[in-house]
């Protein structure tokens, strides 16, 4: 599903450049649930940005679902993001003047799905995350956990190949964190490929595989026994 070969990325910081990713090799099969760990500055967010086609690499190969990702125009990148990827952010990034339903329907709008079908699909996904009754509520009327569940529904609505979650539990207390992780596990159980960036050990162990990043290289890549989140909820 995801294949990365010898990926390099550096940022210019004034006169000197900062080499963030120093040759990353990484593959993820369909249906995997991978945690990417690392301290801040390890390059995990940069890696996620490149995986999410939000940023380009300096060198190296990136193949997503058999499609080489290189030299994309803005429009093409937008299409790929829309088709292949779903994003979940630490700060939810819901659009605050749109209802939960409208937020979930947004990626479908960019897929040019008709209005009625969009509403139905969005409601369906809201139902999956258990927020059907909250469809008409604005994000400001939802709790943190509910917001993140709406964000996950939004990410899933476009039926992406890969779900990318950047610190999905970073802004939540532990109980809600586990709720969100339970949801992510459920989605993974249905066969979806998910990458979770986190720096929390317990969250990482709720995935099936942990990749450790340090100073721009992968220092450890191991399969782990998944801890189910439901038991803590």
Partner 1 sequence: MFDRDIWQEIFNTLKKNKLRTFLTGFSVGWAIFILVMLLASVNGMQNGFVGQFNDDATNTIFVRPGTTAKAYAGFEAGRRVQLKNEDLDYIAKSFPKDVEYISARYYANATARYKSETGSYPVQAVHPDHQIIEKTLVIDGRYFNEADVINKAKVAVIGRKVAEDLFKDEDPLGKFVEMNNLPFKVIGIFTDEGDDNAERRVYAPITTYQRIYGNTNNINVIALTYNPTYDLSKALAFSGRLEELMKRRHKISPEDQSGLFVWNYAEAFDDISSFTAVLKAIGIGVGFLILIAGIVGIGNIMVFTIKERTKEIGVRKALGARPRQIINLVLLESIFITALSGFIGLMFAWTVLSLVGPAIETPAFSNPSVSGGTVVTATIILIIAGVLAGLIPAIKASSVKPIVALRDK
Binding-site ranges for partner 1 (CB under 8 A): 40, 45, 49, 52, 54-55, 74-75, 78-79, 81-83, 87, 89-91, 93, 95, 97-98, 106-107, 109-111, 115, 154, 158
Q: Are 4 and 62 in contact (CB under 8 A)?
A: yes
Residue whose entry in the numeric block shows the structure tokens 């210019």 = 12
Residue 73 Cβ, how far from partner 1 at the closest point, in Å? 9
Residue 176 Cβ, how far from partner 1 at the closest point, in Å? 18
Structure tokens at 20: 């963030």
Based on CB atoms, which residue is closest to partner 1, 63 or 82?
82
Based on CB atoms, which residue is closest to partner 1, 71 or 74?
74
What is the DSSP annotation of 106-154?
Answer: HHHHHTT--HHHHHHHHHHHHHHTT-GGGTT--GGGS-HHHHHHHHHHH
How many whole angstroms separate alpha carbon 112 and alpha carbon 142?
28
Q: Are 209 and 223 in contact (CB under 8 A)?
A: yes
How many whole angstroms separate alpha carbon 151 and alpha carbon 178?
16
Based on CB atoms, which residue is closest to partner 1, 44 or 128?
44
Residue 179 Cβ, how far from partner 1 at the closest point, in Å? 21
Residue 225 Cβ, how far from partner 1 at the closest point, in Å? 30
How many whole angstroms separate alpha carbon 139 and alpha carbon 100?
6
Residue 74 Cβ, how far from partner 1 at the closest point, in Å? 5
Based on CB atoms, which residue is closest to partner 1, 106 or 211?
106
Q: Are 134 and 101 in contact (CB under 8 A)?
A: no
Based on CB atoms, which residue is closest to partner 1, 10 or 49?
49
How many whole angstroms separate alpha carbon 213 and alpha carbon 197?
11
Based on CB atoms, which residue is closest to partner 1, 99 or 146?
99
Residue 154 Cβ, how far from partner 1 at the closest point, in Å? 7
């Amino acid at each position: 599903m995801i294949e990365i070969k010898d990926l390099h990325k550096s940022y210019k910081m004034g006169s000197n450049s900062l080499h963030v990713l120093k040759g990353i090799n990484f593959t993820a099969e369909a249906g995997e649930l991978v945690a990417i760990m690392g301290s801040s500055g390890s390059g995990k967010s940069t890696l996620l940005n490149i995986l999410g086609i939000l940023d380009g690499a300096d060198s190296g190969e990136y193949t997503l679902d058999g499609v080489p990702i290189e030299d994309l125009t803005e429009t093409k990148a937008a299409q790929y993001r829309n088709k292949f990827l779903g994003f979940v952010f630490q700060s939810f990034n819901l659009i605050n003047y749109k209802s939960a339903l409208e937020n979930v329907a947004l990626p479908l709008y960019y897929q040019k799905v008709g209005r009625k079908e969009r509403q139905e699909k969005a409601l369906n996904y809201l139902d999956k995350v258990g927020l059907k009754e909250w469809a008409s509520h604005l994000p400001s009327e939802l709790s943190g956990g509910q917001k993140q569940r709406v964000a996950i529904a939004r990410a899933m609505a476009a039926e992406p190949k890969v779900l990318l979650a950047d610190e999905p539990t970073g802004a939540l207390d532990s109980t809600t964190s586990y709720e969100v992780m339970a949801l992510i596990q459920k989605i993974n159980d249905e066969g979806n490929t998910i990458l979770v960036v986190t720096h929390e050990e317990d969250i990482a162990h709720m995935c099936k595989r942990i990749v450790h990043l340090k100073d721009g290289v992968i220092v450890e890549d191991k399969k782990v026994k998944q801890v189910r989140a439901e038991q803590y909820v």
